[in-house]
Amino acid sequence: MRAATASCRLRLPHEALGLAKRGEECDRDGIYGAVFRRRMKAMSINEVLIAPRSPWQDPYVERVIGTLRRELLDHVIVVSEQHLRSLLQSYLDDYYHPCRTHLSLGKDPPAGREIERPEMGEVIEFPVVGGLHHRYTRRAA
């Protein structure tokens, strides 16, 4: 699992280049080794280390981890890495992006949604993520 995590972090700076990012916040995890530092330096991205044992200094990551724990991982037993990947993929593709509302987006999901007026029919639910969450829509009368 550690190698996969390190590999993901090594790809992150390349994906962020379009954002003209000047610094990358890094905690003090061992995955940030010499290869990661060389790649960051080659792309002219400064590494900014957060203080030891200070998760509040990286609030976005902590927020995502907390959300995943509360809304998914606290309710299932993960039996393998493949199972975890499958759960996360289902959660993100079937619930988080198309259905879950976000206050910062005006109570819309990241993928957006159309307004469904009452005259469009009764509200019905569809289970997603193995029934852990539900998507609601109107059925035509």
The candidate with the shortest Cα–Cα distance to 128, out of 106, 109, 107, 141, is 109
State the pTM of this model. Answer: 0.58
89 compared with 44, residue with greater pLDDT = 89
**Total Cβ atoms within 10 A of residue 1:** 7
* pLDDT tens-digit series, residues 67-106: 999 999 999 999 999 999 999 999 999 999 898 888 888 8
